[in-house]
Amino acid sequence: MPMDRVAWSKIPLLLLLLAPFGWLLYAAVSGGLSADPIKELTHQTGLWALRILLLTLAVTPLRLLTRQSWLIRYRRLLGLTAFFYVCVHFSIYVFLDLGLYWSDLLADIAKRPYITVGFTAFLLLIPLALTSTKSMMRRLGRRWVKLHRLIYLIAPLAVLHFLWQVKADTREPLIYGAILLALLVVRVPVLKRKLSRRGPRVAVQHKPTGSRERL
């Protein structure tokens, strides 16, 4: 896909990614949420943060499988949108649930394991979001790659955060955990090479001189 088409296609993608937030905002204003609106807002924003985070991790396997390098241009948008939902998720918890009582926040972080891992994942996401620009990529060089590998720690922490706060039915967080495991396993070098080979063959064009050029 040409670069300009990729840039333009980010607009409808962003609108699609923000649609759940718009619906939640409308439901909150119109009274369309459950009997415990703060709990539902907290749950839904966290859920969408996890979903979009998994979509971000799915970009690389999909690029290898399809051999469509332009897909990588969507990864930053997906990652920043996931961070946006995480920020909203955390803000609802701090402002609406705790009422800005920071002592209660510190107590929850210390005593509730699911909040401990969730807060840790949030803190680890901040430097990734702050260094997501092209200028920071150039400035950090190889260190940028090492820093952004934190995503492989953040994503399991996010799933664990979801799993530990569920009191009865754990099927949903386990499903997300299985998806995450699959996305991490395909990054093992041997499997990564096999995944790349399974992609569609690259078309070859013959020149009059007998040389070949990849399209």
Using an 8 Å Cβ cutoff, are 118 and 158 in contact? yes
Q: What is the pLDDT of residue 204?
A: 40
pTM for the whole structure? 0.86
Q: What type of residue is 24?
A: L
- pLDDT string in tens for the chain (215-residue length): 555 676 788 899 999 999 999 999 999 999 888 889 999 999 999 999 999 999 999 999 898 888 888 888 899 999 999 999 999 999 999 999 999 888 999 999 999 999 999 999 999 999 999 999 889 999 999 999 999 999 999 999 999 999 999 878 899 999 999 999 999 998 887 777 776 666 565 444 444 444 333 32
Cα–Cα distance measured from residue 204 to residue 19, given in angstroms and rounded to the nearest whole number: 41
pLDDT the model gives residue 67: 83
Q: Cα dihedral sign for 156, 52, 25, 102?
A: positive
* Residues 6+ away with beta carbon under 8 Å from 98: 104, 105, 108
